[in-house]
Every structure is written in C-alpha cells, then in structure tokens.
Amino acid sequence: MADSTAAPVATTTDAPVAQAAAPANATGTAAQAAAPAAQAAPAEEPTDWKAEARKWESRAKENKTAAEKLAEIEEASKTETQKAIERAEKAEKALAERETADTLAAARAEVSKATGVPAAVLRGTTKEELEAHAAELAPLIAPPEKKGALGPYVPAEGSATSGTPGTNDWLRDAFVAGR
C-alpha cells in the first residue's frame, strides 16, 4: 500500500511548473527563481496587427451575410399567423408610445398654464417632474414690468411749444425773416 505522505515525483513535463512553484532559495527571491523558466521560452515573432484586423474584418463580413441568410430563412418559415402576431405587437408598441407622448404633452401644457412657464422649456417624464422643473424655472422667468406706455420714452416730449419765435431753430428763423 502506498504512503499518502510521499512527495510527488516530478516528470519532465512538470519541470518548468516545479521550478516556478519552488520556494526561493536562501539568497534569492521567488521572482529570480522563476526567471530561468521565463528565459527558456522561445521568443515569439511580433504580431502583424493590420493583417489580424483584416482577418477579423473578413470574418465579420462573412458572419453578416450568414446572419442575413438565416434571417431570410426564418422569415420564410414563419406562418401567416406568426407574421400577423408580430405586426400586431409592433402596432401595439407604437400605439403605447404615442399614448405616452400625448399624455406627456397634455401634462406639459397643463403645468405650463398653471405656472406660466413655457411648455417648450419644461423637462420631465411625469407630471410631478414637470411641476418640479417649473418650480425651479419660475423664479428665473420674471414677467416683464409695465412702466406705462410701451416703446421709447422721451421725457420732454410735447412740453415745448413749437412754431414760436425765439426758439433755437436758426433755419426756421432765417426762413421766416426772409419772407
């Protein structure tokens, strides 16, 4: 009967592993002990990355054509019932998206009307988010203050009498005197 405490025997294929796994000797470190095993490996030639890229690109193109052929075969093998079900599911999805967009537009218009913030600047996906965003924007959007008449303001407009002698209109005075 073999003793289970006996040390395993290293074969020729286990030699590099045994050297790398061996503990460091008293004067060196584990890295130095593993260094001879790394030096014994043959040097590999540098990789031509452009050639590798072309190879993978050609494989990708082949896979694309194969995927297209598979999709055509699967589409041809579907029954009319399966095709009708897929069309119905697609239509239901589009309808649900449209209903969501309409609901959001209505909520945006309602919040805009209630807060005075333009609907075009409101962001959010729920009414609560729209209301919160409107509350943030409301102080930044102040209504224009009305100070009387709109347009340019001339303070002394209409207070001076026109056409009276003694005004500082020298051309008018020269014309009146020359008559």
Q: Are 25 and 33 in contact (CB under 8 A)?
A: yes
User: For residue 159, is it within any domain?
Assistant: no
Task: Give tens-digit pLDDT for 26-54.
Answer: 455 555 555 555 555 556 788 899 999 99
CB atoms within 10 A of CB 117: 22
Q: Would you call 19 helix, strand, or coil by DSSP?
A: helix
Q: Is residue 71 part of a domain?
A: yes
The mean of the pLDDT values for the chain is: 77
Give the percent of the chain with pLDDT over 90: 40
Helix (H) or strand (E) holding 95: helix 80-115
Residue 95 domain-assigned (yes or no) = yes
pLDDT band at 169; cut points 50, 70, 90: confident
Q: Report yes or no: 122 and 133 within 8 Å, Cβ to Cβ.
A: yes
Is the confidence at residue 15, as pLDDT, over 50? no
Cα 114 from Cα 137, distance rounded (Å):
13
| Residue 113 belongs to some domain of the structure | yes
Q: What percent of the chain has pLDDT over 70?
A: 61
Q: Domain residues for 64?
A: 50-140
Note the pTM of the prediction, 2 decimals. 0.39
As for how many domains the chain has, the answer is: 1
| pLDDT tens digits for range 85-111 | 999 999 999 999 999 999 999 999 999
